[in-house]
Structure 1
Amino acid sequence: MSSPTTTTEPATRQIPPTMRAVVVHGPGDYRLETRPVPQPGPGELLLRTDAVGICASDLKCYHGAAKFWGDENRPAWAERDRIPGHEFVGTVVAGDDAALAKRGIGLGDRVACEQIVPCWECKYCLEGAYWMCEVHDMFGFKGYDGAMAEYVLVPTQALVHPVSRALEPQVAAFAEPLSCAFHAVERAEIKFGDTVVIAGAGPIGLSAIAGTRQKNPLRIISLDVVDAKLELARRVGADIAINIAHDDAVARVKELTGGYGADVYIEATGHPSAVPQGLNLLRKLGTFVEYSVFKDPVSVDWSIISDDKELDVRGAHLGPHTWPAAIKLLEAETLPMAEICTHQFPLEKFQEALDLVGDSSGASIKVSIIPSWANTEESAE
């Protein structure tokens, strides 16, 4: 299908007083509205949004998952009257000299922002673990507006990373999920002789395969239920792809490993069934890394983790210290990004974009919004 044309106006153009933005009014109630363009204060930047990806967590927030809106067991950390969108890149269009110098950038440069906006004052920030900030403000969810808008404000505390303007905007925005998956890979402490199983061949799963490929283990096994995604997993770096709708993944992995099981399992589906699957196909003393955001609680047999196998179970959150490596891999243009970034939409079609992310048929992989596109009858494929 044909696609709208991306504008390439200079960063120094006049900034309008208002902008189009998607605004959260509550679960299932997102609206396109006209909002004032944010005015950057001392140390802040204003970006014209080049692209913003839609994450599975965006969709789960939209559908009202307790992880975001809270229940009797956890506080809410999604806010109403907030502009969503945390996977973004943008062009710097305003900022004082101090804000530019601090980040080593200039007007007209493209930057990506880390999802979290650390407070830099809590115990975790002071210890260097900024991604676990106790305040935990995040673009698009809590504290700061995200980038499903024509412009986005970057506060002084935010972390930014330069990204080449030669990349298609939706590819540049993929730096966020790629860096997150790289962190999951680092948490796994993969060794050369390892068999690594990665559950899911969506954006995070494919990114985890790409990161694991850089570690060069003995074999990488991708699990999914969509053959087209498994074929793409092979192109990204998987040695073996197993369709768990047709094959017994546990039996296949044990067959490949002399009956022992995998050394490492990275869960990147967000589906509850993927958790016991991983526990069962790991060998004794194996490592389980969980990266997904689950819509519902997950129950497992903890005896497998303790008495049966003495597993090392690790969580992974965001992408600390991995952004430069993720951006470098994107800029090398070695990944099949045209097949990963499958769909792009204008702001006016944000609902269609959200619905496509929720389509379980495998019709899309990474869906993005390009705010500079005019509304048309077609989306890009």
Structure 2
Amino acid sequence: MDFGFSAEDEAFRTEARVWLSGHAESARDRRAWERALGEAGWIGLGWSEGGYGNRTGTLTQQVVWAEEYARSGAPPRSGHIGEKLLAPTLLAHGTEEQKARFLPPVAAGDELWCQGYSEPGAGSDLAGVRTAAVPDGSGYRISGQKIWTSLAHEADWCFVLARTEAGSRRHHGLSFLLVPMDQPGRIEVRPIRQLTGTSDFNEVFFDGARARVEHVVGGEGSGWKVAMSLLGFERGVSTLAQQIGFAEELRRVLRAAVDTGAVTDPVVRERLVRQWAELRAMRWNALRTLGRSGDAGASSVAKLLWGGWHQRLGELAMQVRGAAAGVGPVDWSPSASYELDLLQHLFLFSRADTIYGGSDQVQRTIIAERVLGLPREPKGVF
């Protein structure tokens, strides 16, 4: 594949790098940082339409921005769910009124979003959604529970997959609703404490929460189609930026191997080289599939590749550290807090890489059925 950067792309890279170098270090408040990105026009480069407060960028410029952002050390984004998931979904399925209402605040960094998909009984099997949205005059009343909802504690809005047809099953009778989070007594957010000690994921409980009828995307009953379309936007240019972060983590593991002397072990050396080679292969695979549409298995292949790779890197990080990997800072005072170092955090967080975003088993089933044409997996066996 001939994938290169033009002189215009390199000028764009310089502009992005200069701006980030002058702003990233001062980005302490995440909401203020989103507004700074919006004011400078960096949000929404990948949107297929302009006119909603964003400046457009070519596919290669989107790659440039994502890579430079990852290299800059800028903080994790709070607005990526609105920008990368909701916005392209509205551009594809939303009404003109919905686009005009919701896209400009996303582009400005003024409104943050979360995703209400997974439930306690419907994680990887999203068709098992039980959250109900009952028609109620000019809108719906929503009751049910969502789980693993990233950044729900910060979000202003949530796009919710809910059942609007009573008695419907599986993919039928679902709708894609835009729900305001500021509904005291009707929406409760409970943070989930992770192995790493952080709480970026949440449980969200809906108890008669309101959604307006004009905030149904794609029409009532089309929720499954809209939800699957959104998942297709989830892995794209951002995958290349993710790999910049992976490369930095690999460098940390290599430095740790040198510092501890583990690099003299031929087995460790072989694993380090394999991780490097697989990361290069993932990059070329991402570039090869970038911008292609209608490839049913591309995103599943990408998820399988990076999920397993990152998990193996976390295991290797602990191997090169030896016994020291199991202990924290040596401070036994009563007021001391146990804080993970970067490699310990990598190991613990990566345990979930083959589960969230669609487990490895689900990705293999998609590839088997939709790409290889193998017989469909029997339902209701267990």
- Place the TM-score, normalised by the shorter chain, in its bin: under 0.3
Bigger radius of gyration among the two: 2
Name the structure with the higher strand share.
Answer: 1
Q: TM-score, normalised by structure 1?
A: 0.26
Name the structure with the higher helix share.
Answer: 2
- Greater RCO between the two (CA within 8 Å, min separation 6)? 1
Q: TM-score, normalised by structure 2?
A: 0.26
